[in-house]
Amino acid sequence: MDRLKLSRIDEDLESSEVASLCFLCRDVLARKRLEGINNARDLFLRLEENGLLENNSFLFELLQTIRRTDLLNLLESDSSPPEEADANPILSDYRVMLYRVDQDITRENLSMMKFLLSSQLGKRQMEMCNTALDVFAEMEKTGSLSPTSLHEVHAAVKQFDQQLALTIQRYIDNRGTVCTVSNTSQPVDVSISETQSNYEGMNICSDAEPNTKPSSPDDHTEYYALIHKPRGLCVVINNEDFLGTQMKNRKGTQEDEKALCSLFSRLGFTMLVHNNLTAGAMKQELQKLGARNFVNDDALVVCVLSHGEMECVFGTDEQRVNITDLTRPFTSEGAPTLAGKPKLFFIQACQGTRYQGGSLPHPSLPGQEEGVPQSPLEEDAGPIKGETVPWEADFLLGMATVPQCKSFRSTTTGSIYIQEVCTQLKKSAESSANDDILTVLTRVNREVSKGKYLNSKQMPQPKYTLTKKLVLKYV
């Protein structure tokens, strides 16, 4: 960024405003890196060293938050618009809320808050605090204040200012996640089905066939920042009932929907479920979603459960939707507020008609239809037709199978791939280790590849352009 512009901004900022900026940056810069900063130039240097000033977006939000809109004109003429950034850190609702409390508290009430909290933090520490932000910083050092621990500060503020207490309470109330389901009247079950590793003796049929009656996560240079609550949206498109005669209904797919809703709700995502969408409706819903403001979201997850063929999935009207149609609305060009944030797509559908490994199942009895013995397993497959996915930064596409091959789904417990994804993400979230998403998907590959389905194998395939590590934990 232009050093001359940064210098002009520094000259116009008061020392109290610089202190506010430092507090707002505590989620993106280590505490030690913020010590001793007395002017905006030093803060800008720290941000620049961490790659946080590669474009205007973060500084724009900082200045907007402290209500210095008069300085935004200096940024608007910059040649690097926010949507071109590979990384776009966003201020957390938690820290902005605390800043609002600081701005609205009177000097008399600040003294009262320091008195009420001195028993926990110590009188000496309180005497050194000149602002509410100083008090909040001391509380964070002791662990008595965090995005998930606001009881002490709320109880103290409530004793002298009900309006400020309401500001904190609103943040607490909005911290939870909501599951919204469209086109379905059934409630979402919160159980996760376990994947079976061996499916010998189970019924199998194909969705492709005609119907015969498919470092530390705190290091923001290496890890994606997950600081908002909720983390973002998790969208599930679940196509079960098909309108034509060429594709079977996808029994068992509701188990995948339940498992995904259970898991990603616990991971801090707001759930949005669409059932039985035509190809046109799928495109329309995703385009509408791409126009959303993702400023307060850290990530996006999209799960598509349907029939498929090479590089596409099917709507319930048996029309194709290319994978590019799924991802295009969320590129940095289409959704600039998602720039630099992870976008995860999990596709449960086949990419072809081949049985992996080249060994087709052979009927054991005369007249038995090849590939369709009686079993609660099915395949999500289709004809083969190649198309390239135009990748941009920070995408992950998790495919149930490699190109040209079938994927399998149990009509009673859900698809092999989605259930294993949920199982491994659940284990990772509960583990003390900070395993990133690619490590988790490698385990998914290993576990799914161990199974035997219609005397064949299934090998999932993750494709990605992630620029950092992504660690998903329960919130």
- Give tens-digit pLDDT for 52-99: 887 677 888 899 899 888 888 777 655 443 333 223 446 788 999 999
Residue 474 lies inside a defined structural domain of this protein:
no
pTM, entire model: 0.53
- Region 403-407: mean pLDDT is 78
pLDDT of residue 48: 87
> Could you report the per-residue pLDDT of 7-23, keeping only the tens digit for each?
899 999 999 999 999 99
Residue 148 lies inside a defined structural domain of this protein:
yes
For residues 44 and 151, membership in a common domain is answered with no
pLDDT of residue 268: 96
CB within 8 A of 371, min separation 6: which ones? Answer: 204, 205, 206, 209, 355, 360, 361, 454
Query: Taking 90 as the threshold, does the pLDDT of residue 389 lie above it?
Result: no
Task: Give kind and range of the element (H or E) at residue 19.
Answer: helix 15-24
The sign of the CA dihedral 215, 219, 225, 230 is positive
**Which sequence positions are flagged as catalytic?**
307, 350
Closest CA to 108 of 164, 60, 59, 53: 164
For residues 348 and 331, membership in a common domain is answered with yes
Query: Domain of 295: which CATH number?
Result: 3.40.50.1460
For residues 106 and 232, membership in a common domain is answered with no
Range of the structural domain that residue 454 is part of:
179-359+367-464
Kindly state the tokens that stand for 38.
């007395």
pLDDT of residue 372: 38
- Region 244-273: mean pLDDT is 93
pLDDT of residue 29: 86
List the single range of 138-147, 177-186, 250-259, 398-407 with lowest mean pLDDT.
177-186
pLDDT of residue 77: 53
Angstrom distance (rounded) from CA 197 to CA 393:
34
Report the mean per-residue pLDDT for the chain: 81
Position 177 confidence tier, pLDDT thresholds 50, 70, 90 = very low
Query: Taking 60 as the threshold, does the pLDDT of residue 211 lie above it?
Result: no
Contact 90, 61 (CB under 8 A): yes
For residues 329 and 186, membership in a common domain is answered with yes
pLDDT of residue 331: 92
Kindly state the tokens that stand for 295.
């400023």
Residue 470 lies inside a defined structural domain of this protein:
no
Query: Taking 90 as the threshold, does the pLDDT of residue 401 lie above it?
Result: no
pLDDT of residue 56: 75
Ranked by mean pLDDT, the top range of 385-389, 427-431, 457-461 is 427-431
> Could you report the per-residue pLDDT of 408-437, keeping only the tens digit for each?
888 889 999 999 999 999 999 999 999 999
Domain count, the chain: 3
List the single range of 60-69, 196-205, 340-349 with lowest mean pLDDT.
196-205
For residues 34 and 106, membership in a common domain is answered with no
Position 245 confidence tier, pLDDT thresholds 50, 70, 90 = confident
Kindly state the tokens that stand for 247.
């594709």
Helices (H), 381-460: 416-430, 437-450
For residues 169 and 184, membership in a common domain is answered with no
List the single range of 133-147, 315-329, 400-414 with lowest mean pLDDT.
400-414
Contact 382, 309 (CB under 8 A): yes
% of the chain residues with pLDDT over 70: 77
